[in-house]
Amino acid sequence: MKKGKIAPRYDFAKIEKKWQKIWQEKKLFEIKLDGAKKPFYNLMMFPYPSAEGLHVGGVYTYTGVDTFGRFKRMQGYDVFEPIGLDGFGIHSENYAMKIGEHIDEVSKRTEKNFYRQLGSIGNMFDWSRTVETYKPEYYRWTQWIFLQMFKKGLAYQKKAKVNWCPSCKTVLSDEQVIQGQCERCDSFVDKRELKQWFFRITKYADRLLKNLDWIDWPEDVKTNQRNWIGRSEGANIKFKVEYTGEEKSELEVFTTRPDTLFGATYMVLAPEHELVNKAREAIENFDEVERYAKKAISKSEQERKNDEKTKTGVELKGVSAINPVNGDKIPVWVADYVLAGYGTGAIMAVPAHDQRDFEFANKFGIEIRQVVAPYFPAKKTSDLPVREDRKTVKRNVVYGVVKNPKTGKFLMISWKDYPGKSFIIGGAKDNEDIINAARREVTEETGYANLKFVKKSQFEIHASYFAVHKDENRYGVINWVYFELADETKKEIKKEDEGKHKIFWVKEKEVDKELPYTNYHYAWKTLTSGKECATDNGIMINSGFLDGLKTDEAKTKILKWLEKEKVGKKSIDFKLRDWCVSRQRYWGPPIPIVWCKECAKKENKTKVLFLHGFEGNGECNWFPELKKKLEKAGCEVFSPTMPSPESPKFEEWMNEIKVYMDKMGENDVIVGHSLGSGAAMHYLGRTNQKLKKVFLVAAAVGDGPRRDWDALRKAWPTADVDSLEKFWKHKIDWKSVNKSVLKETRVIFSKDDPYIDPEHYKLVDLDDVVLEKWDGLKHFITASCPKLTDYITENIVGDISPVAVPVPDESLPVELPPMENFLPEGTGKGPLARNEEFVKTTCPVCGAEAERETDVSDPFVDSSWYFFRYPSTEFNDNAFDPERTKKWLPVDSYIGGKEHTVLHLLYSRFVTMVFKDLGLIDFEEPYKRFFGHGLITKEGAKMSKSKGNVVNPDDMIEKYGADTTRMYLRFLGDFSQGGDWRDSGVEGMSKFVKKLWTLFSELKGEGVGLGNLSMIDKTVKVVGEDLERLSFNTAVARLMEFTNWAKENKAVFNKEEAAQVRKVMALVFSPMMPHLAEEFWEKIGGKDSVCNQSWPKYNKENIIDSEIELVVQVNGKLRDKVVVSKDVKEEEAKKLALESENVQKFIEQKEIKKVIYVIGKLVNIVV
């Protein structure tokens, strides 16, 4: 360096500010979306900013995406790189709660700070098109999407068990529950049954799965999605169920292994299964069964987690199922290892071939029947494979396994011409007892005579191989028999057998190592572990017409049979559940639904069932009057006459009630009079039927002993009091009734009722019960009773559940009202329910007073479509403009963290498919290419505030500048794997950048000329390739090599060479260090901006060196290197290699077997 010409200091702060200002002023990154010739949508995952500011992990992603985007821009694409933020949601809300501020204020501050930080990292964001989910301009369209879903039947409400954190007093989404515990406070979550809104994503399960076959995504991400969707192919099979001697009903199961049907030895129902109650009369141990089922259902997540390992269950005594394939009667159990929500909530258990069934059967001593034999066909690498041209002979084979209890060692044998050691193998004649056969073989071959039988396999193994000595294929049915040596007495071995084999005693641990074939390993494993449960494919045995088939063939055949016999059919099940989008929180888009009672009344279809009493009928008393009133109000009324009302039979009445109840549902009502009331209670106590309300008029529901039946007989000589008494004395299951009546029970009685003592009503054991004590109406046997009929009509019609009316598209958005107090209360309703002004509204259809839905939607809904909005932010008539969307979507490159690869990607794919089905777009996969990057850690540990090892991007940018930070982040590891942040690493990078800065001004071109600039071509080529496949760390390494080369030769370059080096330097560094590159570009007098330049071209010919280094190996080991011309002939190369001095040492006096030449790479001499 010449004296006095010291290069100016690298003042990154000044340079970076300067260029950021210029970019903004020139609007360089505000792409003209309509005019773009080569649109390239460069998308990063929607930031979910924390109020604490940008995380260095965020910088890692965004600058990585930007480096790729800038490279694409230099390749001539019109790169659109939008930014926005996903600000709604529980995380922001919780943070605001924690610091005791209002979420609204916090969000404003967060947004400002976040955008400021993002402005400093040097990305080419288009700041004219930001999107924030909590702005009404945006969530208006989120709500609009909800409405389209609703209108298509894809959004619906249902009661569902949701995660409830007792400490946070709120509902949690599945992803906030980690191993049964609340993500925030670690309390164990409960399950609460609440009405929730759902999106019917399951309808798209097949499509979501199938498209994975062709979209350009990393395999691991696709696998994750496949597992989440969880498709399993199998069959639904119907089993007849018998109890109390008759065939009563059917039980349908789902199985993925219909081929194992012959091995089903019991059935298992989920505790919630309806058959548990349906068959209650027949279940001999119903109390026990019920106790078990109820306990299992009410188990908390914590208990479930604790009990997971142990299998529990109760048999339904008196109930059995009939296996359709062989007519076997098999027991039915209820157990909580069967889940109500999957398949049909019931299984056929095949303990021999399912791990869970196996454990269960072992515990409860249920038969285990093997129907699949593990199959081991010989492979070329071990035994000899079957020869098609030879006959096949079946052979029963025994493996005699002998242990010497004194030494703990096992007896093994080795044969000539036979690899490894084995157990004592022998054949058994067809009728021969397997134990005797094994005993005989052991004694014949080893001489040991006193063997104590321990156990034999429950399980046979099949193997096929070609037996050379017999010139035939053998098909072995193998069983093992396990003995212990009683003593070491030996008999003499036959002369002819002597010398053919040797015997050994081998330690238990080493037995496995000695065994040559997989079938031995398998046998040994089952023997030592006791787990004779084969879940893999194999050959069918003990299975009638399936015998001998392989698993796949057997599946096909049994499916055909099931369909032919009409007892089953192919069926596909998914693990994917519908997407719960309700949140009982404040900070989200209100769900745009209005609940209207008037509309409900207009379309009132409430069904009402009248149940008359003893000696009554469907048209008796005040029934006709009530019927008229109810029908006028739109109700559908059933008023049947029960079988023989004058001598009522319990069973007959139950069956008759069922006929009507089967037509009724959750919004319907029963009106019972006298004994009819009692009948209703009995019915509801015996089924899972759900009803809205029950009216019990002059109810006959009390317990028996209080009644004086003899007195009644005397007072009422014409009546069949015997029959009445019998009916009356059945016990009512109040708990079950409570579950059935969703809203309330109204009991109406008169104090002067001659038949029912008012004391009876104290026995009504219900939760929500309204007692109406009236006077002077006796037993309500009167043709007209306006007081009663008006009361009931008003109560039914006035209490119709409102219907969901969608807010009209043009009334959107339903704005989130400002609320001083936005905290959740834990009542199961969101904070919006407290805001009367918000709740009270008018129905958009009928104009009547109505109430707004108070749930808000899941933030995942917001982020499932944001990329549609970016290109269309200026359009206010639709969520996204069709033309714009056609031009810019699907997204060309989507980059984001792997942690979101399941839910977010799946949801946005689903929403895109719905858009397609709505005719809004003509593609159904939103992302052409997805790339999941890894996470960065700090010195090997996860960054977290509590550990105090968080890297603050602001600090880094202040200390080292954005360019150096960007460069270091690119260098610290493979983008897909993530990397480890080291402070010393940034320091090193900082030194490198300073060096580069100095070098750039030192390249003055005052030398004589280097003559060969092929390094430039190589760098341009390789760095370009690396950037294309997002291999940033190697690209940085190449750039460093290039820099080192330039530094070494800085004094040699002539003027022209130096100029070329400087120009390339500005260009190739620009995707990673955009500010610095702009500065370089300006220094060399470049026009325009460096980011508008093309990626440099390289000359292929310059890259190929005229001379190459050829590696010379002897037996694959490096011995020498020779320099040869690039187009050296094979002969010449081999000759040169053999002549090499060092090679001579290794090949002299040895025979050269072979010389291998790999073109342009190496010569390998085999001696």
Partner RNA sequence: GCCCGGGUGGUGGAAUCGGUAGACACGAGGGACUUAAAAUCCCUUGAACGCAAGUUCGUGCGGGUUCAAGUCCCGCCCCGGGCACCA
Report the alpha-carbon distance of residue 168 to residue 91 in Å, rounded: 13
Which positions from 755 through 794 interact with RNA, judged by CB under 7 A? none
- Least Cα distance to 326 among 532, 569, 565 occurs for 565
CB 462 within 8 A of CB 374: yes
Shortest Cβ 997–RNA spacing (Å): 11
The rounded Cα 288 to chain-centroid distance in angstroms is 35
User: Is 5 near RNA (CB under 7 A)?
Assistant: no
Q: Does 1030 bind RNA (CB under 7 A)?
A: no
Using the CB atoms, write b or e for 1126-1153: b if 16+ within 10 Å: eebeeeebbebbeebeebeebbeeeeee
- 1109 near RNA, rule: CB under 7 A: yes
Position 1045 contacts RNA (CB under 7 A):
no
Shortest Å distance, C-beta 725 to RNA = 44
| 1105 lies in the site for RNA, by CB under 7 A | no
Smaller CB distance to RNA: residue 404 or 976?
976
Give 178's contacts (C-beta < 8 A, 6+ positions apart): none
Nearer to RNA, 451 or 989 (CB): 989
Nearer to RNA, 939 or 1006 (CB): 939
Residue 228: CB minimum distance to RNA, A: 7
Tell me how crowded residue 174 is: count the other CB atoms within 10 A of its CB: 11
The verdict on 368 binding RNA (CB under 7 A) reads: no
Q: Binding of RNA at residue 1124 (CB under 7 A)?
A: no
How many Å apart are CA 255 and CA 574, to the nearest integer? Answer: 12
Name residues contacting RNA, limited to 170-189 (CB under 7 A): 175, 178-179
Regarding 985 and contact with RNA (CB under 7 A), the answer is yes
* Positions in 989-1008 near RNA (CB under 7 A): 989, 991-992, 994-995
Most distant CA atoms of the chain, gap in Å: 135
What is the closest distance, in whole angstroms, from the C-beta atom of residue 514 to RNA in the complex? 12
* Smallest distance, RNA to C-beta of residue 715, A: 55
Q: Is 950 in the site for RNA (CB under 7 A)?
A: no
Q: Is 922 in the site for RNA (CB under 7 A)?
A: no
CB of 642 to RNA, least distance (A): 38
Least CB distance to RNA at residue 751 (A): 52
With contacts defined by CB under 7 A, name the span among 362-370, 590-598, 727-735, 1150-1158 that binds RNA.
Answer: 1150-1158
Count CA within 13 A, CB hemisphere, residue 554: 25
Residue 537 binding RNA, by CB under 7 A: no
507 near 408, Cβ under 8 Å?
yes
Query: Between 328 and 367, how does the x/- string for binding to RNA read (CB under 7 A)?
Result: --------xxxxxxxxxxxx------xxx-----------
Contact status: 1044 vs RNA (CB under 7 A):
yes
Report the alpha-carbon distance of residue 24 to residue 796 in Å, rounded: 66
Q: Which of 1022, 1068, 1133, 1137 binds RNA (CB under 7 A)?
A: 1022
Q: Pick the binder of RNA from 551, 582, 964, 1031 (CB under 7 A).
A: 1031
Does 234 contact RNA by CB under 7 A? yes
Instruction: Pick the closer one to RNA by CB: 102 or 294.
Output: 294
Between β-strands 461-467 and 472-485, what pairing exists: parallel, antiparallel or unpaired? antiparallel
Beta carbon nearer to RNA, 224 or 1102: 224
Binding-residue total with RNA (CB under 7 A): 89
Token pair recorded at residue 773: 């004590």
Please list every residue from 569 through 598 that binds RNA, using CB under 7 A.
Answer: 573, 575
Cα gap 649→296, rounded to integer Å: 35
Is 938 a binding residue for RNA by CB under 7 A? The answer is no
Q: Quick one: 334 exposed, middle or buried, by C-beta within 10 A (0-12, 13-18, 19+)?
A: buried
Footprint on residues 898-917 left by RNA (CB under 7 A): 899, 902
Instruction: Please report whether residue 227 would count as binding RNA according to CB under 7 A.
Output: yes
255: contact with RNA by CB under 7 A = yes
Rounded to a whole number of angstroms, the minimum distance from the CB of residue 36 to RNA is 30
Applying CB under 7 A, does 973 fall inside the site for RNA?
yes
Q: Please identify, using beta-carbon distances, which residue of 959 and 991 lies nearer to RNA.
A: 991
Beta strands in 52-154 (DSSP E): 78-80, 84-85, 131-132
The residue ranges of DSSP E strands in 385-500, in sequence order, are 392-404, 409-415, 424-428, 451-456, 461-467, 472-485
Pairing of strands 39-44, 893-897: parallel
- H/E segment holding residue 1120: strand 1117-1125
- Output the six-digit token pair for 42: 């460069």
**Ranges within 256-315 binding RNA (CB under 7 A):** 256-257, 270, 304, 307-308, 311
Is residue 1104 involved in binding RNA (CB under 7 A)?
A: no
Using an 8 Å Cβ cutoff, are 672 and 694 in contact?
yes
Residue 1130 interacting with RNA (CB under 7 A): no
- Chosen residue from 153, 365, 754, 940 binding RNA by CB under 7 A: 940
Nearer to RNA (CB atom), residue 326 or residue 977: 977
3-state secondary structure of 897: strand
Counting contacts by CB under 7 A, is residue 532 touching RNA? no
CB of 201 to RNA, least distance (A): 15
Edge-to-edge strands, sheet with 155-165: 170-172, 155-165, 190-199, 579-580
The residue (of 256 and 723) whose beta carbon lies closer to RNA is 256
Stretch 483-512: interaction string toward RNA, x if CB under 7 A:
------------------------------
Instruction: Report the candidate in 485, 410, 404, 492 with the shortest Cα–Cα distance to residue 447.
Output: 492
Q: Which of 14, 46, 22, 3 is nearest to 868 (CA)?
A: 46
Q: Which is nearer to RNA, 437 or 576 (CB)?
A: 576
Cα angle vertex 79, ends 73, 85, to 5°? 130
